C-alpha cells in the first residue's frame, strides 16, 4: 500500500493513525486495538469487519 494513502487513512472510530501490520494484510489502530483487513489491496474500513487485537498481540 502506498505511503501517501496511509497518510490519509484514519481509524473510522477515533480518527487516529493507522499502521500496517508486519505482513501488510491489516491496518492497525493502536488506540482502539482494532485491525482493519486489506483485501485485494483495498483497505476495508468498516468497524464490523475489523478484528479485535488480542492481549498478547503487539499493537
Confirm whether pTM is higher than 0.85: yes
57 occurs within a structural domain? no
The number of distinct structural domains making up the chain is 1
1 near 43, Cβ under 8 Å? yes
Mean pLDDT (whole number) for 1-29: 90
CATH number of domain containing 13: 2.20.25.10
pLDDT of amino acid 57: 81
Q: Residue 8: exposed, middle, or buried by beta-carbon count in 10 A (0-12, 13-18, 19+)?
A: exposed
58 occurs within a structural domain? no
- At 58, the pLDDT band (50, 70, 90 cuts) reads low
Amino acid at each position: 500500500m502506498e505511503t501517501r494513502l496511509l497518510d490519509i487513512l484514519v481509524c473510522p472510530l477515533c480518527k487516529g493513525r493507522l499502521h500496517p501490520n508486519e505482513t501488510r494484510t491489516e491496518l492497525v489502530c493502536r488506540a482502539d486495538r482494532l485491525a482493519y483487513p486489506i483485501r485485494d489491496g483495498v483497505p476495508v474500513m468498516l468497524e464490523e469487519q475489523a478484528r479485535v487485537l488480542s492481549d498478547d498481540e503487539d499493537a
